[in-house]
Structure 1
Amino acid sequence: MNLEWTELIIFTILFAGVSAMGFVAARWRRPTTMEHLNEWGLGGRNFGTWISWFLIGGDLYTAYTFVAVPALVFGAGAAGFFALPYTVIAYPIVFMFLIKLWSVSKEHGFVTPADFVRARFGSPLLALLVAITGLVATMPYIALQLVGIEAVLKSMGLTGSGLAGHLPIVIAFAILAAYTYQSGLRAPALIAFVKDILIYVVILVAVIYIPTQLGGWDAIFDKADTAFTESGKGGLLLNENNQLQYISLALGSALALFLYPHSVTGVLSSRSRNTIKRNMSALPAYSFLLGLIALLGFMALAAGTKPLLLPNGNPDTSTIVPELFNDQFSDWFTGVAFAAVGIGALVPAAIMSIAAANLFTRNIYREYIRKDATPAQETKVSKLVSLVVKVGAVVCIIVLPLQFAIDLQLIGGVIILQTLPSLALGVFTRWFHKGALIGGWFAGMGGGMLMLYFCPSADGKRPHFGGSAFPLEKLGFDTKITVYAGLLAIALNLLVVVLLTPILKAMKVADGKDGTKPLDYYVDEGDEEKPPPGDEKPEAAAIPTA
């Protein structure tokens, strides 16, 4: 074990500093009591524009993103840039959906996406399916935050086998669990400031300094193109076989981004509708940063950087960016960069565990185990479940092969998309029958899993569950073109919903009762009460003030 002591010391100091901030966050804007999910799980629903911008940005652009996107560009070339357009088009797509969801959630005290579905369609079963979907899709996402930390730890020389080799990660997540338990959502909100500032500084320095050492951008692209040509993998441009996959993956990922429970949690913690509007307009600034991060993959090719090896002898592509920094920068700056990645895992992991815990508490515990649970009891259960979720994430990384964990995350995107009809479209219309939504969920989920089964890995070593690129030849087409399985699955889901709804209504099958009112979707900061019965103005509900 050859430890990089300077890097390790700087990493430890910065990591310890933000951990201390996590514990102090419990006193930041401290309410009368933290024993309520509005406070522990949503920060009092009172975060302004700047806090929300850092929090949501830190939630969506994770540590795994910072190591995985350039690693994908390193291995697949232009196809790895799908993350850039998908994060750009996501915000205009979800603009009105999130504003309406925030308003109705504020009016009714909804904490989770499943809370809204339960009230909108009057179906505990549909809400349970949405909650389980969110839990299943979120768990591997939390585990993958450990991949970012593990990548920089390896590059600093902290390697080993068995539990001892994972001890640094266990310690890091134990600290995360402790301050999340105490401070709730306030902890990642406060830490997000430090995390994002560090990431911006590190990446801007990297894209300015490294090209000067490699002969400029012309030389970088030329060397990357040569490397792709010699390897026969990827390229600087898309080819005819992966263009549809690129487009469909970008669109499908954009549709899925704000269906994840942790994304909704960040939005519901905002103070007002205007806060969300400003954030949806400003968050694409992170996409600019993401584009710069992706270019690190080309820089690694040009520099001849080699990833570290896994115990089985295969390259660990997640270490390509840490190794690039090791090669190009001094130890002290590399330590700062590694700390930025490590801290970048804390914010999303905390929010994801809180969101998953709230789903269990509100939509399983209170719905099926203890219907008369008090706010304090709900908060206690959520705190405990958030600990269990983090333990589960650590176990996943220790027990499961790394590549399998990554594939689980790809599967997670296909899974979470199946909540789009009831959650995203449900905000705009109540036309769907609850039975049709349940049927569509099963059809989309079943079809999505079947398609994922036929998705081979890029290296051809695994014929099943090797990614999310579904070969159209499996549908009888004579082509090598692939398409994102999630987009096909949600199309099947919607088809079933649209066909079943009029059939069930014609058969007079009992539907659920809508527990929301039209004006609920336009409630804003300062609107504490619903208008008295009979005072609603239909024209105001029909013409949004947003």
Structure 2
Amino acid sequence: MNSVIIPICVVTIFAFWVAVAANYGKAQRLEGWAVGNRNFGTILVFILMGGELYTTFTFLGGSSLAYNNGGVCYYILCYSPIAYILGYWLAPAIWKYAKEHNLVSQADFFIHKYNSRMLGMVVSVIGFLSLIPYLILQIKGLGIIVSETSYGLISANTAIWICSLVMVIYVMISGMHGSVRVAVVKDILILATVFFLGIYLPIHYFGGIESMINTLESTKPTFTIVSSTDFNPVWFVSTVLLSAIGLYMWPHGFTSLYTAKSSRVLKRNAIVMPLYQFLLMFVFIIGFVAVLKLPGLDKSQSDLVLLKLVKQTFNPWVVGIIGAAGVLTALVPGSIILLSLATLLVKNILSPFTSLSTKREFLLVRFSVPIIMLIALAAYSYGGQTIVSLLIVGYGLVSQLFPAIIFSFSKRNLINKYGAIVGMLSGTIFMLISILTPIDINHILPSSLNGMNNGIIALIINVIVMFTVSVIFKNRSVLR
């Protein structure tokens, strides 16, 4: 079994070396550590955003969703192109404002736009709440990948602790430069792995993709369409809308936007990013192959579909290479999330209550990275949700920032800081209640709206409250 462990260890060590070497011997400031001195070109921004968006969810969650729910998985193909159309106009506007005001975090944007540190703190807390599930997603996926592809020789918990330590050290040392270097390695490996599996597995078992689809249709005739049960068309459309709105709202997404050297880079990026959707099609094909070759897996094992199929098909050394590629799908987004969380925590939550110098603030940001990782590890130990569920929860929370951002670019902003604060809090509180309690608001909705994603309902509450409070507190100046 050494042939399994060696590729995983070699790739992890190589990724660590690449990340640390990215900034070795260079003097650093917070701007360079957090946003790469704003000098990344089209290719690096493309790789960086691909690294943060196409993660362990792509590697495990996509095939799991295809295996369990069939046609429902197509929602992932739908929302990203819509988000990139929005991003073509929105991302350059955010970048220009951030460049002009020297911003390094998402909360900085809101503080300057609405002239309110209180709003910045609210945004930071929402960002923290939304990113912790996303970081847990990477941790959970990492443990699954290493444990399964090592045939249990490395336990999930051991893998998580070792790789978390690797991630923490290279983020503290190299920041964004380290993440983008590892993202280059990750993209090469993961693209090669997923394309290979998506093409080889249908040919190996069925003679081709068309033959596999025909077999699936004859075996489970309605499997590849959106059902009328739990994940009905209302859920599908509302989840596509929520995810499209939320894609650019992630705090680490803002950080990646800030790294671009010009607004033109971000426009080009929005044009080429949909190419990554081809990757997802092959992930779904893997899930459909598993439906036929691994029938009967219960939902507790749904995140293991891709890995179980790989282990059934290939020799251990091939499994090890695939596992190594999977490790990088957790390390890259996990490192960017850690970086963003550390910046939010210190710069926008703690700093308003202190009088730290720029140098001390930067030092505190770096040393908060291991603390944040420990929080995520503690939260992971209590969580039992699937990878897909964790991602949708995060989107529901982070999308609450969208209305205030959109209105902030209007010539005459109808929303003030009071409306933005109370609106965001209302939507977020509703989302947290829907997550933490068994309350189901769909019972009071018209039957035609049954299945509505709670994130959309939270967003509607957010907007109504935002406008109402803005009108009530028009021309007042209390909160700073």
For the superposition of Structure 1 and Structure 2, which TM-score range results when normalised by the shorter chain?
over 0.9
Distance, in Å, in 2 between the alignment partners of 1:136 and 1:315 is 25
Q: Which amino acid aligns with 1:290?
A: L
3-state SS of paired residue (1:191): helix
Q: How does 1:108-507 map to 2 (within 5 A)?
A: 108-157=101-150, 159=152, 166-215=157-206, 216-225=208-217, 228=220, 235-241=223-229, 242-304=232-294, 315-370=300-355, 373-397=356-380, 399-403=381-385, 407-428=389-410, 430-452=413-435, 464=438, 472=442, 474-478=443-447, 481-505=450-474
Distance, in Å, in 1 between the alignment partners of 2:466 and 2:69 is 37
Distance, in Å, in 2 between the alignment partners of 1:228 and 1:385 is 50
Distance, in Å, in 1 between the alignment partners of 2:463 and 2:274 is 29
Distance, in Å, in 1 between the alignment partners of 2:142 and 2:170 is 18
Displacement, 1:196? 0.5
The TM-score normalised by the length of structure 1 is 0.82
**Structure 1 residues 175 and 305, CA, compared in 2 at 3 Å: closer, same or farther?**
farther
Displacement, 1:471? 6.3
Q: How does 1:4-15 map to 2 (within 5 A)?
A: 4-15=1-12
Structure 2 counterpart of 1:26, from 9, 23, 28: 23
Distance, in Å, in 1 between the alignment partners of 2:158 and 2:228 is 46
**Does 260-269 or 378-387 show the bigger shift?**
378-387
List per-residue Cα deviations over 1:345-371 (Å, max 9, x = no partner): 11100000000111112112221222x
Larger radius of gyration: 1
Distance, in Å, in 2 between the alignment partners of 1:254 and 1:134 is 17
Asked if structure 2 preserves the Cα contact closer than 8 Å seen for 1:433 and 1:511, the reply is: no
Structure 2 counterpart of 1:77, from 66, 70, 80: 70
Name 1:544's counterpart in structure 2. Answer: none
RMSD: 2.4
3-state SS of paired residue (1:238): coil
**Structure 1 residues 226 and 387, CA, compared in 2 at 3 Å: closer, same or farther?**
farther
Structure 2 counterpart of 1:50, from 32, 36, 43: 43
Displacement, 1:90? 0.7
List per-residue Cα deviations over 1:91-111 (Å, max 9, x = no partner): 111222211111111111111
Asked if structure 2 preserves the Cα contact closer than 8 Å seen for 1:123 and 1:434, the reply is: yes
Displacement, 1:489? 1.0
**Structure 1 residues 305 and 338, CA, compared in 2 at 3 Å: closer, same or farther?**
farther
Q: Which amino acid aligns with 1:61?
A: Y
Q: Alignment length, in residue pairs?
A: 476
Distance, in Å, in 2 between the alignment partners of 1:315 and 1:90 is 31
**Structure 1 residues 315 and 489, CA, compared in 2 at 3 Å: closer, same or farther?**
closer
3-state SS of paired residue (2:432): helix
3-state SS of paired residue (1:392): helix
Distance, in Å, in 1 between the alignment partners of 2:156 and 2:197 is 30
**Structure 1 residues 240 and 180, CA, compared in 2 at 3 Å: closer, same or farther?**
same
List per-residue Cα deviations over 1:16-54 (Å, max 9, x = no partner): 111111111113xx75x21x1111111111111111110
Distance, in Å, in 2 between the alignment partners of 1:287 and 1:165 is 29
Asked if structure 2 preserves the Cα contact closer than 8 Å seen for 1:62 and 1:145, the reply is: yes
Query: Relative contact order, CA 8 A, sep 6+: which one is greater?
Result: 2
Asked if structure 2 preserves the Cα contact closer than 8 Å seen for 1:140 and 1:412, the reply is: yes
Displacement, 1:298? 0.3
Q: Which amino acid aligns with 2:140?
A: V
Displacement, 1:301? 1.0
Name 1:534's counterpart in structure 2. Answer: none
Distance, in Å, in 2 between the alignment partners of 1:408 and 1:198 is 25
Q: Which has the higher helix share?
A: 2
Distance, in Å, in 2 between the alignment partners of 1:289 and 1:405 is 18
Q: Which amino acid aligns with 1:362?
A: K
Distance, in Å, in 1 between the alignment partners of 2:247 and 2:448 is 30
Asked if structure 2 preserves the Cα contact closer than 8 Å seen for 1:435 and 1:511, the reply is: no
Q: Which amino acid aligns with 1:244?
A: V
Name 1:66's counterpart in structure 2. Answer: 59
Displacement, 1:117? 0.8
Q: Which amino acid aligns with 1:493?
A: N
Asked if structure 1 preserves the Cα contact closer than 8 Å seen for 2:242 and 2:456, the reply is: yes
Q: Which amino acid aligns with 1:70?
A: S
**Structure 1 residues 424 and 389, CA, compared in 2 at 3 Å: closer, same or farther?**
farther
Q: Which amino acid aligns with 2:97?
A: V
Asked if structure 2 preserves the Cα contact closer than 8 Å seen for 1:305 and 1:324, the reply is: no
Any gaps of 5 or more consecutive residues in structure 2?
none
Asked if structure 2 preserves the Cα contact closer than 8 Å seen for 1:188 and 1:351, the reply is: yes
Distance, in Å, in 2 between the alignment partners of 1:209 and 1:101 is 42
Distance, in Å, in 1 between the alignment partners of 2:410 and 2:325 is 39
Asked if structure 1 preserves the Cα contact closer than 8 Å seen for 2:137 and 2:390, the reply is: no
Structure 2 counterpart of 1:100, from 93, 113, 133: 93
Distance, in Å, in 1 between the alignment partners of 2:311 and 2:151 is 14
List per-residue Cα deviations over 1:430-470 (Å, max 9, x = no partner): 3312111122123222333344467xxxxxxxxx28xxxx6
Runs (4+) off by over 6 Å:
none
**Structure 1 residues 152 and 445, CA, compared in 2 at 3 Å: closer, same or farther?**
closer
Displacement, 1:503? 3.2
**Structure 1 residues 169 and 62, CA, compared in 2 at 3 Å: closer, same or farther?**
same
Q: Which amino acid aligns with 2:4?
A: E
Displacement, 1:61? 0.8
List per-residue Cα deviations over 1:445-504 (Å, max 9, x = no partner): 2333344467xxxxxxxxx28xxxx663x1153468301111121112112222332333
**Does 9-18 or 342-351 show the bigger shift?**
9-18
The TM-score normalised by the length of structure 2 is 0.92
Asked if structure 2 preserves the Cα contact closer than 8 Å seen for 1:43 and 1:186, the reply is: yes
**Does 274-283 or 399-408 show the bigger shift?**
399-408
